[in-house]
Amino acid sequence: MRISMYKALWGMDGDMEAQFRRIAEAGYSGIEAHPPADEHTESFKQLLQQYNLDYIALIATSGKNHALSFARQVERCLDLNPVLINSHSGKDSMPFAEQVAFFQETLRIEAQAGVPIAHETHRGRAMFTPWTTKLLVEELPALKLTADLSHWCCVCESLLEDQQECLTFLFRHVVHIHARVGYAEGPQVPHPGAPEYERELHAHEQWWREICLKRQEEGQHLMTFTAEYGPPGYMHTLPFTNQPVSDLWEVCSWMAKRLEKQYMT
């Protein structure tokens, strides 16, 4: 199994070209980010081409009509030629019948768009737990998933020891992975290389290997990963100063290099 590493781009403030250059020089295949503001769209497209970076678009539905929000954002993304659209879809509070109707519409829009769309396992969204996600995928087997299992660790306050049946079922539907390590009390450890989080790291890596093996069984030989550690709010900070306890760039680089080494051998 080959992997393709993407870098999460959390903001485009400041020198956008410098960010693209740094990501390309670090060896990433592309970026994952929200579409840029309209005034930056052409520069964004030019920089992707200039630095030979692929693009995974990130969208998040909102408002009273999540299907309409989804449709508008997908249409906005298509001009940027994404290889994949990753969606934070629906709400955890939506009744199940409403979720099913929403995801039926997303599948219709995906077919029209001609770009694969994966729905992220994210807190606050329809797919916020393994069991709710399993119910949706059983109802609509064509759904594709982005596995950010760090969120499920936080929601379930565990390393999902009692969710193996759900995980085994759902891993066949995963087409993209967010390589962030969570723990029972939060969606992001301060640093995945810290020895005190060795158990959490190994659990996530085992899940990622299982996903890749299932992809191979389906005849797929490439898996995309995004090193998606986040800044404060996600990143732990010191009291009173709000200073991050780790260097965000270094944390993402550590994870990316570890994964590349594992899958190159």
pLDDT score, position 1: 80
Query: What are the helix (H) ranges across 114-226?
Result: 130-139, 149-156, 164-171, 198-217
Which pLDDT score is estimated for 264?
A: 72
Asked whether 211 and 218 are in contact (CB, 8 A), the reply is no
d(CA 191, CA 247): 9
Q: Which amino acid is at 232?
A: P
pLDDT at 265: 57
How many beta carbons lie within 10 A of that of residue 121, not counting itself? Answer: 26
**pLDDT confidence of residue 54:** 98
In order along its 265 residues, the chain shows pLDDT tens digits of 889 999 999 877 678 999 999 999 999 999 999 999 999 999 999 999 999 999 999 999 999 999 999 999 999 999 999 999 999 999 999 999 999 999 999 999 999 999 999 999 999 999 999 999 999 999 999 999 999 999 999 999 999 999 999 999 999 999 999 999 999 999 999 999 999 999 999 999 999 999 999 999 999 989 999 999 999 999 999 999 999 999 999 999 999 999 999 987 5
- Name the 3-class secondary structure at 176: strand
The pTM of this model reads 0.97
107: closest CA among 53, 173, 43, 171?
173
> 163-167: which pairs have CB atoms within 8 A and are 24 or more residues apart?
163/130, 163/131, 166/130, 166/131, 166/133, 166/134, 167/130, 167/207, 167/210
What φ, ψ does residue 108 adopt, rounded to 5°? -65, -45
